[in-house]
Structure 1
């Protein structure tokens, strides 16, 4: 067990680890090329534990005065330990005094745990994207959520 400590910027040395986490925790994982593109075009963070272990990652796309959370994953060894919630709170604090006004995200309609965490943090549900996510049996809706920074 490793307690969340901080967010640090992701770099090229994190790519193989991030891809391996992605393949373990997501039904339709991003490719290594997707992560390489994210490093070039986005703001990517590693959720770091108190013992300097990488616990998970989050990738955000800045657009004007908004940040769009594109991908968030916690390594399966650290799920259910409050890592995602603590990391999201650290992210919000990091950008609270910035020029960004809103943090946006989509989450699978079936992902009740993540939706509950986001709501506890203060995210509002804004709508749905029908048939947005691929599943093993078809498609699933995405719940659109936002938080004013």
Structure 2
């Protein structure tokens, strides 16, 4: 297995129920730190430091990534972080541009939502920050403004 596809969870298992195009496989684990950083950059997201990936990925509540089976290269990822009981945050959903439009992002979010349905306690809050319109609504996500507003700050600004 290439370093690019090696996940942070040694007990990796594959999902057979999520439909993906031939030549792709969804794995229930996060990608390697190198693949995590590459996928974020390739998808136009802010890069994260190696240290951030090394510290953050093992603290994932549930994560998936998709590999191109011929090369074992990670081409997509998505994960849930949170406290495991009352709050779950979908984050780091990214698909490499050459593979976009093939259902990879949909398969990954399907897997996250299926996991939440089985594991999140009743009344838990699930949120996400999206930079695309019209993608997450199919799973029931709705804008929360004006009732609530997302706020943020980067550590260099603290």
- Report if TM-score (shorter chain) is over 0.5: yes
CA distance in 1, matches of 2:110, 2:23: 14
Contact 1:2 1:49 in 2 (8 A): no
Contact 2:27 2:64 in 1 (8 A): yes
Consecutive unaligned residues in structure 1, runs of 5 or more: 135-149
Counterpart residue number, 1:48: 66
Q: Does 1:104 align with 2:124?
A: no
Counterpart residue number, 2:55: 37
Contact 1:44 1:60 in 2 (8 A): yes
Deviation per CA, 1:63-109, whole angstroms, max 9, x where unpaired?
Answer: 2322112321111221122211121111111221213433210113x
Q: Does 1:79 align with 2:100?
A: yes
What is the Cα-based RMSD across aligned positions, in Å? 2.8
Deviation at 1:47, TM superposition (A): 2.3
Contact 1:6 1:48 in 2 (8 A): yes
What is the 5 A alignment of 1:103-142? 103-108=126-131, 111-112=132-133, 116-127=134-145, 128-129=149-150
TM-score, normalisation: structure 1: 0.68
Deviation at 1:123, TM superposition (A): 1.0
Aligned positions, number: 126
Residues 44 and 91 (structure 1), Cα distance of their counterparts in 2 relative to 1, 3 Å cut: closer
| Structure of greater Rg | 2
Higher strand share: 1
Moved over 6 A (4+): none
Consecutive unaligned residues in structure 2, runs of 5 or more: 1-20
Deviation per CA, 1:32-77, whole angstroms, max 9, x where unpaired?
Answer: 2221121232235232257365221123212232211232111122
Residues 98 and 45 (structure 1), Cα distance of their counterparts in 2 relative to 1, 3 Å cut: closer
Higher helix share: 1
Counterpart residue number, 1:65: 86
